[in-house]
Amino acid sequence: MKTTRTILFASLSLIIHTAAAQTGATGDRFSPCMAGLRSDAAAKGVPTAAFDRLTKGLSPDMSVLEFLDYQPEFRTPIWDYLAGLVDDERVADALVLRQQWAAPLAAAAERYRVDADTVIAVWGVESNFGRNFGKRPLLTSLATLSCYGRRQPFFRGEFLSTLKILDAGDIAPERLVGSWAGAFGHTQFMPSTFLRLAVDGDGDGKRDLIDSVPDALASTANFLNRAGWRAGEPWGY
C-alpha cells in the first residue's frame, strides 16, 4: 500500500510539475509576443491606448491550435460535406428569408450585380442564416494563433485588423465572437476582409455583420462582385 501511495504521489507531482512548466512556458512566450504586437499595432495606426484597453487581461487559448490541422471541409468527401450543409430544412428557411429580406437583397443585387439567391446561399452555408456565428472571442483566438503554431504572420495580420475594427467602433468587443480562425458574422468574414469589403447596408453609419442582416447581405454581394462575379453565368451545376 505504501509503495502504491508513493507511486501515485510521484505521478501526481510529475503531472503538476509538467502542467506548471507548460503554463509557465506559455506565459513566458505570450507576453513578449504581445509586446511585439503592440509595436506592430502602433505602426499600423492603432493607438497604444486602444491596444492596451482592448487586450487588458488577455490570455492565450491553446485549444485553438488543434484546429490548424483539422478542418472538415478539407478532410470530408465533398458530397458528404455538402449534404451536411444543404438539406430540405435549410432550403425552406432560405425561401422564407429571401422574402423577409427582399428589399436589402434587391438593393444589393442592383448595386453589386449579384443575384439574391446566391447571396442567400452564402448566408445559409456560412452561418445557417445567423444561427451559428461561432462562440470564440476573436481577440483571444487570434492573439493565440499570432503567437503559437504555424501561419503566425497571417494571423498577426488578422489580429491587427480586429483591433482596427474594434477601435473604429463598428462592433462592440463583447459581440465580436466567431470561429476558431477569426471568421465572424452572418457570412463569416475574416477581419481583414471586413476592413476591405464590408459596407453599410442599412444606412446607420456602421458596418456590422453581426447585428445587421442588411449590412451582411450587402457586404457579401460586394465581396463577390470584387472577386469577379459575373452575373447570369451558370456555376456548379
- Is residue 158 part of the annotated active site? The answer reads no
Do residues 210 and 225 lie in contact, with contact meaning Cβ atoms separated by under 8 Å?
A: no
Cell 463577390 -> residue? 224
Nearest to 235, CA basis, from 114, 101, 128, 123 = 114
- Exposed e or buried b for every residue in 48-63, given b needs 16+ CB within 10 A? eebbeebbeeeebeee
Do residues 127 and 185 lie in contact, with contact meaning Cβ atoms separated by under 8 Å?
A: yes
Catalytic residue among 89, 126, 158, 233: 126
Q: Which three cell numbers stand for residue 82?
A: 455538402
Nearest to 141, CA basis, from 159, 119, 164 = 159
Cell 506592430 -> residue? 40
CA distance 99 to 198: 23
CA distance 164 to 60: 20
CA distance 102 to 211: 18
Do residues 194 and 154 lie in contact, with contact meaning Cβ atoms separated by under 8 Å?
A: no
Which residues are known catalytic residues? 126
